[in-house]
Amino acid sequence: MVEERRDERAGARRPSAEWSWWRLYRNSPLYPLTFAAVLLLTWQFVIARYGFPGVPVRYLGSPLGAGEAFVRLLLHGYSGNPLWVQIMASVLRVVTGFLIGASVALPLGLLMGYYPAVGNLIAPVLNFLRPIPALAFIPVATIWFGTGETAKIVVIAMTGFLYIVLGSWLGVRSVPQDYLRAARNYNLSPVRLLRLVVMPSALPHIMTSLRTGMALCWAVVVAAELIAAQQGLGFLIEDASTFFKINTVYVGIAIIGLIGILIEFIFAAVERRLLHWVGR
Amino acid sequence: MTGAGGAVAKLAIENVSKEFEVGQGKVAALADISIEVRAGEHVSIVGPTGCGKTTLLNMIAGFDFPTRGKIRRDGKEITGPGPDRAVIFQQANIFPWLTVRDNVLFAAKWGTQEDGRPLGGKGAKEYEVAADSLIREMGLSGCEHLYPYQISGGMKARTALARLLLFSPQMLLLDEPFVALDAQTRSSMHRLLMRMMKGTDGKSVVLITHDVDEAVLLADTVYVLSRRPGRVVDRIDVPFGFPRDYAVISRDPKFLACRYKVLDRVEPMTIKDED
Ligand SMILES: Nc1ncnc2c1ncn2[C@@H]1O[C@H](COP(=O)(O)OP(=O)(O)OP(=O)(O)O)[C@@H](O)[C@H]1O
Ligand SMILES: [Mg+2]
């Protein structure tokens, strides 16, 4: 789909047979990886060797060094725990927090949209809280709940909640009037109206807010673990950096990025299934 | 009068005016409209853009209420929307997240009558059978499982119509249902509508349109509204039975006379761009 549109913009040239090798490459997964490969090679063979202005060479690390660190992490884990335990610690926190946040946010958002009196009452507070970076609340949560799991999950849940509640509220408000009128015309019961018209119509907004909410939660978990944790990717990065194990830090960062992509990928797949009818 | 049932007014619009509050002031959309629709009568309403046609239809449907005057159905004042007056809107008629078949089934399956009984009045199995034969009759076979984005504008219009016909409402309210269609598709929709209305007397139709040919072809009575605020400037009877064959009837001098009567009323009110 995206591919097709890009071709249209480029003037939809007819594919020519002569460039078949180029086309093969152009359509292979290697193509989008080329740029990343160039960056890594430059880093390995230019920057890691000749240095980077302002940074001592021994702190630069290198892609090969990070590869070695990754193998070490796989074989020996980190600070007494296998690598997958570190990863799962972060993932579990995010999933728990996200699910708690979303399961409060969705009904509340729908309620706010359904009854404008409720929406107008609650919205100002939510709109005030939403732009505040979750990081600002981490110290508060730590004072209230200590350095255990609760504080981290509360902050993650709140981050997801704020984003999702406003998204689903917007979704309900943007249900076209004609759909609601059709529903009133057929005398739909309130429950059916919600289930059969409002929810599906609001679903695109809801999905977008879930997706963005999840991405924000993932960003927040790492930040929360930087401050106080004995496990997790944030802890791994923070701990490795205090010992100047720069290549291990890189591995932690790369895993965070890859999981972020994986999350996007899962959401995109779900959206393709649920929302194929949108926007055509 | 042909095509009309008894003498009882199915729908009575009595001296209806409508004003909207806009900022500090008021906009008069309709002024002192009186229209009667008998059981089985097909009425078209034409008038220049912004004269209050949609506003009038919304009030008949029960989505809005007159500032002055009354609208009665079977003698009772209208207090809100109801499935006895099924509406096709100017746009956004079918749900994009449902297949053609599920859209057709929607109202009959999920809607309820005033007294809480299911709208279609039958068991789920029977609707499905009825829906499938309606889908066939309306030339939608093969599209049952497609989504609205996968079908043409004409098919969407037919889906919207089929959804209403499935639960067989007493009155159809149509707000320019065919504007978005090309001429051929529109005339096939006209034939379809006439065929569907045939033999189901007691079913009244209020059609709003800009298209004078369409208005005359599909109506027993055409009402012409003035520019805003809309008032009834003329009422033209079209004394022909249904169904009508456009190719034949459009050559009939009596029919042409009706058409020109409407046109002569509408023409002076259209906005001219040479001055
Ligand atoms: N909710 C509203 N608030 C204020 N003014 C309104 C509202 N609805 C309609 N109007 C005004 O009332 C007038 C009639 O509108 P309406 O939509 O009924 O016209 P129409 O005859 O259906 O026009 P068209 O043929 O273009 O569809 C217009 O001037 C419009 O601006
Ligand atoms: Mg209109």
- B231 pLDDT higher than 70: yes
Catalogue all structural domains in chain A, each as residue range(s) with its CATH number: 2-60 (no CATH), 75-274 (1.10.3720.10)
Query: What is the rounded CA–CA span in Å between residue A204 and residue A226?
Result: 34
% of residues, chain A, pLDDT over 70:
93
- Tokens at residue A202, please? 């609001």
User: Does B74 or B275 have the greater pLDDT score?
Assistant: B74
Question: How far apart are the CA of B165 and the centre of ligand 1, in A?
Answer: 28
SS3 A190: helix
- A116 pLDDT higher than 70: yes
Going by C-alpha positions, the residue among A272, A230, A191, A196 that lies closest to residue A85 is A230
Query: What is the rounded CA–CA span in Å between residue B199 and residue B268?
Result: 38
Predicted local distance difference test score (pLDDT) of residue B5: 41
pLDDT digits (tens, 9 = 90+) for A216-248: 999 998 888 887 788 999 999 999 999 999 999
Q: Which of the four pLDDT bands, split at 50, 70 and 90, describes residue A96?
A: very high
Question: How far apart are the CA of B126 and the centre of ligand 2, in A?
Answer: 36
Predicted local distance difference test score (pLDDT) of residue B3: 38
Predicted local distance difference test score (pLDDT) of residue A4: 47
Q: Is the shortest distance between the CB of B73 and ligand 1 below 6 Å?
A: no
What's the mean pLDDT when you consider all of chain A? 89
Q: Which of the four pLDDT bands, split at 50, 70 and 90, describes residue A279?
A: low
Ligand closest to CA B230 = 1
A273 to A198, A268, A269, B114: CA distances (angstroms) = 19, 9, 6, 37
Residue B180 contacts A, CB cutoff 8 Å: no
- Tokens at residue A116, please? 């404008």
Nearest CA to ligand 1 atom 28: B50
Query: What is the rounded CA–CA span in Å between residue B245 and residue A207?
Result: 50
Residue B153 contacts A, CB cutoff 8 Å: no
pLDDT digits (tens, 9 = 90+) for B121-173: 777 788 888 899 889 988 889 999 999 999 988 889 889 989 988 888 889 99
Query: What is the rounded CA–CA span in Å between residue B246 and residue B251?
Result: 8
Q: What is the DSSP string of chain B?
A: -TT---SSEEEEEEEEEEEEEETTEEEEEEEEEEEEEETT-EEEEE--TTSSHHHHHHHHHTSS--SEEEEEETTEEP-S--TTEEEE-SS--S-TTS-HHHHHHHHHHH-B-TTSSBTT-S-HHHHHHHHHHHHHHTT-TT-TT--GGGS-HHHHHHHHHHHHHHT--SEEEEESTTTTS-HHHHHHHHHHHHHHHTT-TT-EEEEE-S-HHHHHHH-SEEEEE-SSSB-EEEEEE----SS--HHHHTT-HHHHHHHHHHHHHHGGGSPPS--
Per CB-CB distance under 8 Å, the chain A contacts of B87 are: 181-182, 185
pLDDT digits (tens, 9 = 90+) for A30-65: 898 999 999 999 989 888 888 888 888 888 888 999
Nearest CA in chain A to B89: A178
Per CB-CB distance under 8 Å, the chain A contacts of B89 are: 178, 181-182
Top mutation candidate among B45, B51, B212, B227 for ligand 1, by most atoms within 8 Å of CB = B51
Predicted local distance difference test score (pLDDT) of residue B17: 95
What's the mean pLDDT when you consider all of chain B? 87
Per CB-CB distance under 8 Å, the chain B contacts of A200 are: 95, 97
Predicted local distance difference test score (pLDDT) of residue B63: 94
- Tokens at residue B94, please? 């079918």
Which helix (H) or strand (E) is A220 found in, with range? helix A199-227
User: Does A132 or B7 have the greater pLDDT score?
Assistant: A132
Instruction: Give all strands (DSSP E) within A90-166, no chain letters.
Output: none
Going by C-alpha positions, the residue among B134, B143, B195 that lies closest to residue B167 is B134
- Tokens at residue A174, please? 């943007």
Which of A47-61, A99-113, B56-70 comes out lowest in average pLDDT?
Answer: A47-61
% of residues, chain A, pLDDT over 90:
68
- A8 pLDDT higher than 80: no
pLDDT digits (tens, 9 = 90+) for A148-186: 889 999 999 999 999 999 999 999 999 999 899 999 999
CB contact under 8 A, B110 and A278: no
Predicted ipTM beyond 0.90 = no
User: Does B198 or B37 have the greater pLDDT score?
Assistant: B37
Q: Is the shortest distance between the CB of B98 and ligand 1 below 6 Å?
A: no
Predicted local distance difference test score (pLDDT) of residue A17: 60
Q: Rounded to the nearest 5 degrees, what angle is found at the Cα of A56, between the Cα atoms of A52 and A61?
A: 75
Q: Which of the four pLDDT bands, split at 50, 70 and 90, describes residue A280?
A: low
- B27 pLDDT higher than 60: yes
Largest CA distance in chain B: 61
Per CB-CB distance under 8 Å, the chain A contacts of B97 are: 200-201, 203, 277
A70 to A141, A188, A260, B157, B232: CA distances (angstroms) = 33, 58, 18, 60, 82
Predicted local distance difference test score (pLDDT) of residue B199: 60
- Tokens at residue B239, please? 């004394």
Nearest CA to CA, how far is B114 from chain A (Å)?
Answer: 8
The answer to whether A224 and A153 have CB atoms below 8 angstroms apart is no
Predicted local distance difference test score (pLDDT) of residue A3: 46
Question: How far apart are the CA of A182 and the centre of ligand 1, in A?
Answer: 19
Q: Which of the four pLDDT bands, split at 50, 70 and 90, describes residue B200?
A: low
Going by C-alpha positions, the residue among B238, B267, B235 that lies closest to residue B255 is B238
Nearest CA to CA, how far is B148 from chain A (Å)?
Answer: 8
CB contact under 8 A, A196 and B110: yes
